[in-house]
Amino acid sequence: MRILILASCVSLAICNPQQGGFFSGIQGAFGNLFGASNSNSRPPPQPQPARRPPPQFQQQFQPQQQEFQPQPQQQFQQQQFQPQAQQFQPQQQFQAQPQPQAPAFRPQTASVSQSSQPQQQRVTGGTSLCAAQAPNHFWRDPRDGVQRGYVVTWKFGCSSFQQSDAKEYCNSMGMEAVSLDSPEKQDEFNRLIAQDAQRFFWTGGIVDHAQKTVFWNNPSGTPIPFSQSAHWSNTGGAGLPQPDNRAAGEVPSTPEVCLGILNNFYADGIKWHDVACHHKKPTVCEPRQ
């Protein structure tokens, strides 16, 4: 039996020379047969070196790492967040800019002032004695609360009107010689003649001695009876209270049918006088309405 086992072991050693050769196979067979075990007699197994990947696999794997490394998640988020911040800043700058409305109110105010000035300067009319002028005195009538403009001719040197010339001049501008048909209006123009130290001026009054009433060239003027005016002078050229119509008895006869305002002409203060219409004085023009 032992001869058969030995023969089989010899055959195994011969058939498998990679496991230690012929003698090593015999030695191993005898060791197994007789139970001899010697760990030092058998060479330790050689450690196999780590198998390195083929060069082609390394070249293909490295570019994948290089492509993946430049795109981490943090860099991708920062690139997306930065454009959003840049888009938000222009919105803050646009909201911080002032609205262009404050300047749209000033153009309207300027256009109103510019349109009102030409209306005052666009005057038509005038006569050979005096050119047309814009109103240069303004007064608010308390009877209706309306402020009106008046043309005071002595303020620009036109002072040589007969009463008919004064009427013609005012009519050329669509106006009438002034009517002093209320106590407030009488006080206003008395104050004006005193302020300017003007000696006299023509009104639009027509003195009707027969009816003892003063009518006015301006149709809107209210007639004033002689007895209702406290502005008549107590004296005149003949030393008689006004109206005295004294020139009607002179030669040639010149009825005093025009109303003039005289500033202390007879040392009597600012008073009304009936005057012959051929005398020359400045005047005041007023709107017809």
**Cβ contacts of residue 88 below 8 Å, gap of 6+?**
none
121: confidence class by pLDDT, cuts 50, 70, 90:
low
Q: What is the pLDDT of residue 173?
A: 97
Model confidence over 211-231: pLDDT tens digits? 999 999 999 999 999 999 999
Q: Averaging pLDDT over each range in 18-27, 31-40, 60-69, 170-179, which range is the top one?
A: 170-179
Which part of the chain has CATH 3.10.100.10? 125-287
Q: What is the pLDDT of residue 44?
A: 53
122: confidence class by pLDDT, cuts 50, 70, 90:
confident
- For residue 111, pLDDT over 60 is answered with no
Q: What is the pLDDT of residue 57?
A: 41
124: confidence class by pLDDT, cuts 50, 70, 90:
very high
Q: What is the pLDDT of residue 49?
A: 53
DSSP single-letter state for residue 154: G
Model confidence over 238-289: pLDDT tens digits? 999 999 999 998 889 999 999 999 999 999 999 999 999 999 999 999 999 8
Return mean pLDDT, the chain.
Answer: 75
Q: What is the pLDDT of residue 289?
A: 86
CATH superfamily to which 125-287 belongs: Mannose-Binding Protein A, subunit A (3.10.100.10)
Model confidence over 60-103: pLDDT tens digits? 444 444 444 444 444 444 444 444 444 444 444 444 454 545 44
Instruction: Please state, for a pLDDT cut of 70, what percent of the chain lies above it.
Output: 58
Model confidence over 136-194: pLDDT tens digits? 999 999 999 999 999 999 999 999 999 999 999 999 999 999 999 999 999 999 999 99
- For residue 25, pLDDT over 50 is answered with no
